[in-house]
Structure 1
Amino acid sequence: MSQRTEKPVRIPPRWFVRFAWVVHRLLYRLTGGHVGTWRPKGTRWGALRLTTTGWRTGRERSVIIAYLEDGPNLVGLAMNGWSEGEPAWWLNLRAHPEATVELPGEPRPRPVRAREATGDERTRLWSRWRTLNPDLDAYAALRTGPTAVVVLEP
């Protein structure tokens, strides 16, 4: 009887992840939003620009996150590059759930309200993310706590 051994997943060093985020946002800004976001297609997730209100400062904060569509809702994972701690955008949304998203092909930002998926809905949405990334559970295991599944409703 053979045992299946899974190759452990690895993430790049934190400095590289943060540098990639900076470059991604810079490309978005320099191209006027033409590069850096895309719609989900087939077995690929999309990328959107999310603008939140800072939970401490009250100032607008923008970030680009991965998402998938679930009917009229957009769904992201609060994964913080698979590092410990919650990403700042999720802390902001928990304090101020109203936000806006910018999607390619839409002329203006779309207002949304954020909430965390729980129970059967979380299980269903996590499973959808797993179809896009079979290593999802292995990446999530790198964190000591659960990864929030964030639903952005119109």
Structure 2
Amino acid sequence: MRGVRFVQKVSSTRGFARVAPHVFPALDRAVHRLTRGKVLLSAQLLPGVVLTSTGARSGAPRRTPLACMPEKDGHGWILVGSNFGRPGHPAWSHNLLAHPDAEISWKGRDIPVTARLLEGEERAAAWQAVLAFWPPYAAYQARVDREIRVFRVVRR
């Protein structure tokens, strides 16, 4: 438990937000590819998926490793557009808004999904669950003026 708290504290810092977006996704993509979708390094700490979405402008497939919160029913996942507490929304969230049908790689399986941006009370409830799941998201939200996007993705 002490190790998790340490990682949560480090991941809440601005320094982490500057470095992590350049290091962790590249490592995750490489390891995921080398293990044929069975391993994500970041998932050793938090559950993770590789989201394949359609580029909002390009229409090209975009693969993004993301932390996720699996829903208790086993049929959905919550994705948080925290962007490590940086100012802009992450590109993958723009992609899902433009093209909600996507695919996730979850534990070595490719699963077709549909994404929906959560709003209002539904977002508030999911946000509270996300904060209980990974408290550093509160620090990310405190650093930015935008409301962090929260998506529910479910199997198609």
TM-score of the pair, normalised by structure 1? 0.82
Kept in 2, the 8 Å contact 1:54–1:92? The answer is: yes
**RMSD, aligned CA:** 2.4
Which amino acid letter does the alignment assign opposite residue 120 of structure 1? E
For 2:64 and 2:46, the matched residues in 1 are separated by 16
Label 1:37 to 1:104 Cα distance change in 2 as closer, same or farther (>3 A).
farther
Cα distance in 1 between the residues matched to 2:104 and 2:150: 17
TM superposition shift of 1:34: 2.2
Cα 1:58–1:123, aligned 2, differ >3 Å: closer, same or farther? Answer: same
User: Which deviations, in whole Å up to 9, do the C-alpha atoms of 1:44-93 show, x marking residues without a partner?
Assistant: 74101110001111111111111112232211101112111111111111
**What is the TM-score normalised by the length of structure 2?**
0.81
Q: Runs of 5+ in structure 1 lacking a partner?
A: 1-6
Q: How many residues align?
A: 143
Partner of 1:4: none
87-96 or 31-40, larger mean C-alpha shift: 31-40
For 1:51 and 1:81, locate their aligned partners in 2 and report how far apart those are by CA, in whole Å: 19
Residue range with higher mean Cα deviation, 91-100 or 69-78: 69-78
**Letter of the 1:152 counterpart:** V
Given the alignment of the two structures, is residue 29 of structure 1 paired with residue 33 of structure 2, yes or no?
Answer: yes
Gaps of 5+ in 2: 1-8
**Structure 1 equivalent of residue 138 of structure 2:** 137
Alpha carbons of 1:37 and 1:97: their partners in 2 closer, same or farther (altered >3 Å)? farther
Runs of 4+ in 1 over 4 A off after TM superposition: 37-40
Structure 2 CA distance for partners of 1:15 and 1:139, relative to 1, 3 Å: closer
1:110 equivalent in structure 2: 111
Q: State the shift of 1:37 in Å.
A: 6.8
**Equivalent residue, structure 2, for 1:93:** 96
> Which residue of the partner structure matches residue 68 of structure 2?
67
* Amino acid in the other structure paired with 2:50: R
Q: Which protein is bigger by CA-based radius of gyration?
A: 1
The alpha-carbon distance between structure 1 residues 83 and 121, as it changes in their structure 2 partners (threshold 3 A), is same
Identity rate, percent: 29
1:53 maps onto 2:54 in alignment: yes
1:18 maps to which of 16, 19, 22: 22
